[in-house]
A and B are shown apart, each in its own frame.
Chain A
Amino acid sequence: MESGTDPRLPTLLGITLRRSMVVGRMSLVIGGGMVVFYSALFGIAGPLFVSVGTVILPVFAVSGGIGGALVFTNDRTKGVLEYLVAYGISPRRILANALIAGIVQVTIILGVGLAAGLTAYLLSGNALTSTLPEILLGYTFPMSYLSVTLMTTIGVFWTSLSSPRSGLNSPLGVLPLIGVLPTTLLMIVAIALGAEASRVLLVGELVVFVLLASLLARTDRFMPTERLLSPA
């Protein structure tokens, strides 16, 4: 029963996205607020926005993208996943929806944050350079997406394999810490190494990608249908 969803069934992506915004609104506001604040701060500081600000942004952006994992955990506890599986929605589809919800939230946070940062940067009399889009497209966006996808995947698998519980003792309680770990470590190492920073960031992205791909390849094992059921 771990096979894919029948193509005639709805994807439920739209409503999952909407629910992730509602359920994860607090983390979205806090994460978004921090990204806007630091982005604007670095924008005013000028060149630091390009060299440091763009590397820091993923740390805060990821912490606001927990909505997909929240929806999954709530749905499991409330017995919603049990219905979806009974109607033929596959665990893979459920996971995909959670991952996309996290990515969309991070996109919103980064979009708003970068708009604020760039505005501050330009209003402070700084000129745009080719380095900025290179870093944004080469690190800020891909690393944010990789990190939020890794965080959501770990959250979904961990929730699936553990008994329902709440608070800091639950997977969700520590999930934001897991999410920001790769970006924070990379940021510290990159800043410490200075000249080798771009290479460190690239290698770091590759490591996260490989880790994520190896986890997703084991979806059926870490997310068996029976682990999506509500407590009997």
Chain B
Amino acid sequence: MAYALIALGFVLALNAAGAVNFAHGDLVVLGGAVAVLAGLWTGLPGPLLLPIVALVLGATGILAARIAIQPLAARPPEATFVATIALAAIIEQGLTVGLGAAPLTAPPFAGSGTIDIGGLALGRQPLAILAVGAVLVAAVWFLLERTQLGRRMRAVSSDRYMARAVGIPVGRYVMLSLALAGALAGVAGFLLGHQFLVAPTQGAGHMLKAYIAVAIGGWGSVPGALLGALGIGLFETFVSAAVGDAWASAALYVAVLAVLVLRPQGLFGEPVGRRA
């Protein structure tokens, strides 16, 4: 479910910016790091840390848009790729310098340990991830589909010139999308950070998985990205149980290459024709 949050933020940023944000994975890590620090300094419980992380990362998302995405909107997508790769390296190195390379543990969201539901012992943290993830996904869905704000965001992503022509301030909505993307990434980083720790080098892995989820789910499709992320989660869980982590990842990459080669429009189709 945390993958779903990452992928959701990734696809929002992608649609708004019209190019891949390679720094997205590092925003996830940054979210984890912010949670660690905020937890240390304030001692607040998990549910109260959540809005702090979301706010900080939302602001970071805006910053990222200002630095690496908006100024390059008129250039070919490769320019944004390179700029966000550089941004990713800056975040990663900044974290390494600031916090050290050793993994840190983010505070738990709802206490550790397990609760007993119908005879099944379930970890509190995974349940919290599931619950928070579901709430946020539903909230984003509501925002995009049921509010004027969301309609405008979708208008901007489907055709920014047309959106501008009907009077939508495109730049502001791109930034809003990236703020939302950053906040989602941060929350995901916080939630993952307790169980899987927080280390500066994880960013590339998070980014790659979101990228894969979006490519498999159909480029630019929000539900596709969610399905893709859930698919990756299930795939990893089952395949790694069978053959081990390394080969699960290998199988995932091979599967991605196969999907790209055989069905380049994604498993669920591309919502917008993007032919050159």
User: A and B, one complex?
Assistant: no
Q: B residues bordering A, Cβ < 8 Å?
A: none
Q: A residues bordering B, Cβ < 8 Å?
A: none
